[in-house]
Amino acid sequence: MNTSAPSIQFFEGLAEELEGVSLRRNRSTGVRSVLMIFRQLKSIEHFNSFRNRFSKSMRLIDAEGEIQVEPSSVKFYFGGPEGDDFDHMECRFEIDQEDHWDRFMRFMNRYAEANGMAYGEPDPK
């Protein structure tokens, strides 16, 4: 069992810092969708290694062990005067089984506690 702080990794040994997360549920199917936002990526600094070693999965590691998630989409956003400065990355995946959702939420609670994050409802418009 892993007793270190919870971490999110796109490849082994390089923990990324989560900026925010959005959780949604499709009312008709019950499938839950997770959108994770990263403002910085350590893996982008090692882009050749990232491109060559990326296993198309994200690893969520905590005291219970490891969850491997295959994103359904990964989007990179760039900005700056030349349009080539990394702004953020969005990683989306779906969870359709209740026990997988429960395990994911236990990970997120641990990650949030370890990183000073808090749950909040979106502001009504």
pTM strictly above 0.85: no
Distances (CA, A) of 121 to 30, 39, 109: 19, 21, 15
Chain-centroid distance, C-alpha 67: 11
Distance CA 2, CA 36 (A): 23
Instruction: For 7-114, give the CATH class.
Output: mainly beta
| Beta bridge partner(s), residue 93 | 34
**How many CA atoms lie less than 13 Å away from 125 in the CB half-sphere?**
0
Binned at pLDDT 50, 70 and 90, residue 121 comes out as low
How far apart, in whole angstroms, are the C-alpha atoms of residue 119 and residue 31? 20
Q: Is the dihedral of CA 37, 41, 43, 48 positive or negative?
A: positive
Reported as type and span, the H/E element at residue 110 is helix 98-114
- Domain locations in the chain as residue ranges: 7-114
The two structure tokens encoding residue 122: 């979106």
pLDDT tens digits along 101-115: 999 999 999 999 999
Token readout for 36 is: 């994770």
User: For 27-47, how does the pLDDT look when each residue is reduced to its tens digit (9 = 90+)?
Assistant: 999 999 999 999 988 877 765
